[in-house]
Structure 1
Amino acid sequence: MNARAVPALLAASLAMGGWAQVRAADVPGVHVQEPRAFGYSIGDVVLRVVTVDIPAGLDLDEASLPDSALRGRAIELRRLAHESSWRPGGRRHELKLEYQVLVSPPDVRTLELPPITLHLVPSSTGRNAPREQDLRVDAWPVTVSPLTPPEARTREGLGEFRPDRLPPLLDTTAARKRLLAYAAVAAVLLGYLGFVYLWLPWWAPYHRPFGVVWRSLRQGNTASAEQRREAFRRLHGALNQTAGRVVFESDIAAFVAEHPQFAGLREELAGFFRRSREQFFAAAVPAGDSADHDWLLRFCRACRDAERGTS
């Protein structure tokens, strides 16, 4: 080979290499760093990195970038980070796409990261301006596993049903104290009502003056003079207790006026004082018989009925 031809050949080789580099720089290129295709479950984040080399004269149409506002899919694009930098012969765009798994299938399921179509538009006008182009990034499969197996183990707490959780206990101390207080007040009121409307109506008739004397006379005897005098003393005491003072024979009219329930016993009261005078002040005490005892009982019972208001 001629020595003069060597430099010519070297110059031609350099020119061909430079022309090939220029032609390669004029062609858009896409490089995708795909995530692993397995081992995901609900909530996991999947990162996909797309690097696009665009020659001079073309620009990336940002309207063709994936939209992160779309919702309702099994795997959704949550975030898109777009970085642009200069490189020899054009620009480099790096897209970081974060997807999130939003489904928990009952069995292992294969989902797809959706395909991406990037639109390139010319950045200059003229006879030699490049034409519009589309760059496509194919879909990428990922498998999603369920959180739990389809059938839980037959162990306590892992079956299909679990026992109901008991409701939390409330502190009822204040309510119990109030209830006890209400019960105490109610018991006092009921006791008062029972005393007034039950006990007193039953107890009072048996403990009024003539009622007490009538029971003692009914169970006793007035055969002797001392027994008859004792009976008269008790009747005088009942009459005085009812009037609130000592009652004499001359006070019968005033006593009846103050106690109208005894109005029908005016004659019996006068007979009582007459018989009492004979018992205590007569020169000779009359001998007693069953008729006197029966009269005292009838008189005392009539006075008892009068003080009850039943005569």
Structure 2
Amino acid sequence: MSRGIEMLRVTLVIVLTAGAANMMAAQQRVVPTTVEQPRPFGYVIGDVVTQRVLLTTPREEFEPTALPPVQRVNNWFVRRASRIEAAPDGRRWLVVDYQLINSPQALATVRLPAWKIEDKAHGTQLDIPAAPLSAAPLVSNSSSSTDVELRPDREVSTVDTDSPRANVLLWSIALGVILLAWLAWLQWRNWRDSYNRPFARALHQLRRMDEMAPEAWQTVHRAFDQTAGRVLQIDTLPTLFERAPYLQPQRADIERFFAQSNERFFGTGAQSNLLSVRALCLELRRIERQHAQ
């Protein structure tokens, strides 16, 4: 009877102990951990590497029960002083430094061990995973140079070329439209100029006339009148050159035109070696265009 009671008591203690352990495990929640591991390659003995653990979680602020102690953590690393730093964005980071204290005989992969840290108030813990690092000897062993431990090739991310191609096509179309618009404007300006300038209009009309006809000479006279802003006679020619000094290089031919025109319309009309009004108008149109530019 007493033996049965004793066995029942032991069973009850075991059940209660297991229940308490389960309750403590249930209360201790593991939350997702953001860890910035050190770069995974390029270390030799004496180098210091740094782990950074984010203490600001989306729901709560993690406050460690204690900072990780300064101690040797395995054959390769010793943990140095730890500290909590605040980033400019307001988040808090636990910063832990490790120093490599051994040198491998050849290039090898060593590990920062995994560890945990608990919160003071909320019963949560952060799990920091292990980090593989490659360490090299200070002096390479030539006999083992053909048997080195290499890291796998890094996967190259694909580059999206669709968007740049679309931009190039869009800007090419825009450039083409601008060039076409500029050419159209240039043609329109030349066309307008050919009809709005006095000697341009006169030259256009002379192409349908006999240059010896009176109408041809009258057409050139109208061009001179429009350029001077008044009706010109041979004695008022200085007004033309005051108004349009760019015609000075052709002054001799212009005076000759007015003299021959005066003789033709108001004199005997019999003349030899007449001036070519089409050639004169063409040269005056060339000067007129240069001045307009």
TM-score by length of 1: 0.36
> Structure 2 length normalisation: TM-score?
0.38
Higher CA-based Rg = 1
